[in-house]
Structure 1
Amino acid sequence: MDCAVTDRTILIVGTYDTKQDELGYLAQVIRQQGGGVKTMDVSVLGDPAQPTDYSKHDVAEAGGSSIAEAIAGEDENLAMQIMARGAAALAARLHAQGVFDGVVVLGGSMGTDLALDLCAALPLGVPKYIVSTVSFSPMIPPERLAADVQMILWAGGLYGLNSVCKASLSQAAGAVLGAARAVEKPARDRPLIGMTSFGKTVLRYMVALKPALEERGFEVAVFHATGMGGRAFEALAAEGAFAAVMDFAPQEVGNHLHGSAISAGPDRMTAAGKAGVPQIVSIGCYDLVDLVGWQPMPEPLQDRPAHAHNRLLTSVIMTAEERRAMARTLCERLAQAEGPVVFLLPVLGGNEWDRPGGPLSDPEALAAFVDEIRASCPDNVRLVELDAHINDPAFAEAALAVVDDWIAAGVLPRG
C-alpha cells in the first residue's frame, strides 16, 4: 500500500470498561484499512480488559481532577463532566503535539455529552466523528456542535456487537480514516475575512464583495447564518482565524431572542469582539425570525406576514417594538468589543423582501429600528448611515471603503 495513506492515526475514545468489543472493532477496521490507532479510555468505575494508550486516570488528571474524586461525588452526571473536561483538554494537547489526525468517539447519551466537548476543543479541519445512539437528536443543542463535526447513528448498538451495529461502526471507521487522508486543512496563507449572509435571493452583497476583497489579497469565507453557520463563524472568530469580519447577517441573534430552534446560541455576535478582531457589521435580515418550516407556527406569530423559503424554513417579521429590542441587543454586544467596529446602517432596508412594496415591507417598523440604533449605538462603534438598501451597490462600496481605510491605517494587513 502507498505509504502516503498509511500514516494517518485515529484517536478512538470511549468507555473501555463497558464497550471494549465495539471500540476494538472500530480499531480493527481502521487498522485493516492501513490506519494507525490511539485509544483513550473515559470510563469511571470499571477497568478495561486491556490497557489503553491514555487511561481514565490520564483523562481525569488532564481535567484537573481524579477518578477518586469522580467516584466520591456519587453522581454520574458530575463524574462524566469531569471526564469530559479532561478528555477535551487531553485531546487538544495530543493533537497539538501531532499524535493523531482524526478522532472518533463512541457513546450513548453520556458518551455523546463528553464527545461534544472533546470535538469542540479541536480545530476546524481535524476530522471529528461521533458514533452515538442519539445522533441528530433534538436534545443536542446546536451551540455545542463543533463546526465540522460528523455524526453517525449507532443503530442497534446499545449493548454488544451485532451485524446491524457493525454496519454503523465500520462506516464510521472508514469515514474518519478517509477524511484524515483527504482533508485539506485551512491554509492560512492569506488574511481571512469571515462574512455572514444568506442566499442571493435575499442578500446579494457578497457577489460584489468577495472578488473585490480577493483582489486586495484576502481570502473570504461566507457563512450561511442559519444556526450552524453562525456557530462555525463564532468558533473561528474565537480561535483568531479572521483578520476581520463582515458580520452583515445578525439574524441568528433575533432567532435566539425569540426562542427559535434555528439558533447559533446565546453568544452570537460576541466572539470577534472578545478577540479584538476588527468588525464591520450591518442589518441583513435583522427583522426576520426564522422558524422550522415543518413545525406548527407558534401561536403568537401566526398572524404575522411570513415567507416560506422552503419546507425546512419559514421567516416571519418582527414588530416595531421587537425590532427596537433587537437594535438594543446588537448594540449591547458590540459595546463589549475590544477591537474597532464600524456599523453600516442602510436606512432603506436589510433584505430583498423588505423593499418598498415588497412582501415583508414595514416602513414604520424599519424606521423604529433605525431610530433605536441611533439612540443605542455605543461610543466604541462608528455608525455610518447609508441612504441605500443593503442590496444596493452603495452598500458594498461603503464596506470596501472601510477595508481600504483600515489597510491604509495598518488595522488590516495588506494581502
Structure 2
Amino acid sequence: MPETMKPRILLIGTGDTKADELLFMRDRITRAGGETVMMDISVLGDPPYRPQHDKHAVAAATQTTIAAILASGDENSAMSAMARGAATLARELTEADAIDAVIAIGGTMGTDLALDVALALPLGMPKLVVSTVAFSHLIPPERIAADLMMILWAGGLYGLNGTCTSVLAQACGAIVGAARSAIRPKKDRPVVAITSLGKSCLNYMVELKPQLERRGYEVVIFHTTGMGGRAMESIAAQGGFAAVLDLSLQELANQLTGSVVNSGPDRLENAGKAGIPQIVAPGAIDMVDFPAWLPTPKELADRPFHAHNRLLASATSGPDDRRRIARAIAEKLAQAKAPVAFVLPAGGIQQWDREGESLHDPEGLTAFVSEMRSAIASPVELHELKEHINHPAFAERVLQIFDRWVAAGIVPAGQATAAA
C-alpha cells in the first residue's frame, strides 16, 4: 500500500462484553497510524459505540437475522452462525479493497470465530488473533490459516489491566506494521509446492528446486513438521498451486498413529479436491514424532528411536501401522479430481532407515511397500523404484513425470518454457 495511506484495520470482537478492550485497541491503532473499521460480533447485547459493521450486518451476511440466531437456543450454534457471517463479510470487504488487515480478540468463543475469518482471507492479507488460548492444543491444526499471527492475551479475561493492555498495545502495533509492510504473493510464475523435511532426512529438494526454477516455476518448500503441511494444505485449498509435489507424508502418518505433530485429518486431500495435479511419495511415513521433552509413548518404547533435537524425537511405526498408512494414502489419492502419480522408492523412505542407521527397519519397509503396491489403483499412476528416496534416481523420476505432464498440458508451462 502507498506509504501515505493509513492502513485500514478490521477490528473484530464482541462489543457487548469487551467494549473497553476494543475501544482501547481502536485508540492504539489510531496512535500507530492506522484507521479502524469495527465489526461487532455480539449476539445478546449491543456495544456502547457504533461499529461500521454491526451484528445485524454480520448475521445478514449469512442470510439470517440476530433473532433467528438467538432462537437457535445455544451459544455454540449462535456463535457458529456469527462466524459464518463474519467470515463472509470480511472476505467481501477484502475483495472490495476496503480493508488492509484484520485483528480479532477473544477467549474460546471469539477465537473460534476469528479462526474462520482468517481461513476465509487470502495469503498475504495480515491477520492477527489476540486470544486467551493462543498456542493451545485446543486449536486443531486444520483451523489455522497459513499466515496467521497469534499472541497470547495474558490477563484478558475481564476488563482492562496493565498486563492485558501491554499485550493489546503490542498486537495493535504489530497489525498496523504488518499492513504497511505486507507483500501479496506475486503471480508472475506458476507456483509449485514441495513438501520435505530437513536435508539430514530428505534431500530431493536440493535437486528439484533449481531444476523447476530453470523451467520457469516459483518453488515453495514446506517443512512437514505439523504446521508446514497445514500451511501447504491451506494454500492448496484456495487453489494456490499449479502442481503439488507432496513427497513427505510424515504428518499424515503421525495423525493416523495419534501423534500431536500432525496437520489435521485432511492432510493429502486439499490439492486433490481443488483439482491440482500431484506427484506424491511416502517420504518419512515410517516415523512417528513426539515431543522430545516428554517420555517416549509406551507403544513406541521398544521401537527404533531417533532424537532429532530437544524438541522433536521419532520412533518407527510397526508393520501393521505401515500397512494401515499405505491404505489411507491410497484412499485419499483415489478421491483426487486431477491426475496423481505415486512414486514408490522401495529402497527406503528417509535417511535414517538405511542399514546401520538408528531407524533401520527392513521388515516395516517391506510391509509398507507390499501394501502400497496393492493399494494404489488406476487412475493413480504407480511408479516404483528400487532406489532410496535420497538417491538421484528419485528426483529424476519426479522430474520426468512433471515434464510429461507439462507437455500434455496437465501442468501449466513455466514462464521460461512458455517464452522459449
Q: Give the TM-score, by structure 2 length.
A: 0.96
Find the counterpart in structure 1 of residue 32 from structure 2: 33
With 305-314 and 68-77 compared, the bigger mean Cα shift is at 68-77
> Distance between the aligned counterparts of 1:370 and 1:39, measured in 2?
55
Query: How far, CA to CA, are the matches of 1:312 and 1:77 in structure 2?
Result: 35
Which residue does the alignment assign to 2:8? Answer: 9
Does residue 89 of structure 2 align to residue 94 of structure 1? Answer: no
The one-letter amino acid of 1:353's match is W
Residue 305 of structure 1: how far off its partner (Å): 1.0
Alignment partners' CA distance in 2, 1:413 and 1:75: 48
1:248 aligns to what SS in structure 2? strand
Q: Which amino acid aligns with 2:368?
A: F
Q: Distance in 2 between matches of 1:157 and 1:188?
A: 40
The answer to whether structure 1 residue 281 and structure 2 residue 280 are counterparts is yes
Give the corresponding residue for 1:112: 111
Q: Aligned letter for 1:159?
A: Y
Say which SS state the counterpart of residue 266 (structure 1) adopts. Answer: coil
Query: Is 2:347 the counterpart of 1:345?
Result: no
**What is the letter of the counterpart of residue 357 of structure 1?**
G
CA distance in 2, matches of 1:206, 1:386: 18
Q: Is the 8 A contact 1:6 1:36 kept in 2?
A: no
Residue 300 of structure 1 corresponds to 299
Give the alignment of 1:351-366 within 5 angstroms.
Answer: 351-366=350-365
Q: Distance in 2 between matches of 1:162 and 1:373?
A: 58
User: Which stretch shifts more, 405-414 or 236-245?
Assistant: 405-414
Partner of 1:321: 320
Bigger mean CA offset, 266-275 vs 352-361: 352-361
Query: Displacement of 1:74 after TM fit?
Result: 2.9
Q: Is the 8 A contact 1:197 1:206 kept in 2?
A: yes
Structure-to-structure mapping, 1:13-412, within 5 angstroms: 13-412=12-411
Distance across 1 between alignment mates of 2:274 and 2:143: 20
Q: Supply the distance in 2 between the matched residues of 1:8 and 1:257 (Cα, whole angstroms).
A: 43
CA contact (8 A) 1:389 1:395 kept: yes
CA distance in 2, matches of 1:270, 1:155: 36
The one-letter code sitting in structure 2 at the alignment partner of 1:77 is: N
- Report the secondary structure of 2:282's partner residue: coil
- In structure 2, do the counterparts of structure 1 residues 3 and 256 end up closer, same or farther at CA, with 3 Å as the change threshold? closer
- Of 323-332 and 63-72, more deviation after overlay is shown by 63-72
**What whole-Å deviation, never above 9, does each CA across 1:240-261 have from its counterpart, x for those lacking one?**
1110010000111111111111
Cα distance in 1 for partners of 2:14, 2:339 equals 46
User: Which whole-Å CA distance do the structure 1 matches of 2:354 and 2:119 have between them?
Assistant: 40
Q: Aligned partners of 2:47, 2:234: CA distance in 1, in Å?
A: 35
Q: Which moved more, 1:4-13 or 1:42-51?
A: 4-13
Are 2:304 and 2:360, in contact at CA under 8 Å, matched by a contact in 1? no
CA distance in 2: counterparts of 1:99 and 1:289, whole angstroms: 45
Partner SS, residue 4 of structure 1: coil
How far 1:408 sits from its partner (Å)?
1.4
Q: Which runs of 5+ in 2 are unaligned?
A: 415-420
Identity among equivalent positions (%) equals: 54
The separation in 2 between residues aligned to 1:64 and 1:309, in whole angstroms, is 51
What SS does the corresponding residue of 1:51 show, helix, strand or coil? coil
Amino acid corresponding to residue 374 of structure 1 in structure 2 = R
C-alpha distance in 2, partners of 1:82/1:296? 41
SS of 2:275's equivalent in the other structure is coil
The offset of 1:3, in angstroms, is 6.2
SS in 2 for 1:146: coil
Q: Counterpart of 2:407 in structure 1: which amino acid?
A: A
Residue type at the aligned position of 2:108: S
Residue 238 (structure 1) shift: 1.1
Give the Cα–Cα distance (whole angstroms) in 2 for the partners of residues 5 and 368 of structure 1.
63
Q: How many residues align?
A: 414
State how far apart, in whole Å, the 2-side matches of 1:315 and 1:63 are.
45
* Secondary structure at 2:130 match in 1: strand
Q: Which residue identity does 1:316 align to in structure 2?
A: A
Deviations 1:120-165 (A, max 9, x none): 1111111111111221222111211111111111122222222221
Q: Deviations over 1:381-410 (max 9, x none)?
A: 111111211101111111111111112112
After TM superposition, give the deviation of residue 5 of structure 1 in Å: 4.7
CA contact (8 A) 2:192 2:242 kept: yes
Look up the equivalent residue of 1:304 and give its one-letter code. Answer: R
**Partners of 2:355 and 2:63 in 1: CA distance:** 59
SS in 1 for 2:3: helix
Decide whether the 8 Å contact of 2:257 with 2:321 is kept in 1.
no
Deviation sequence 1:10-30 (CA, Å, 0-9, x none): 000001112112111111111
Q: What displacement does 1:355 show?
A: 1.2
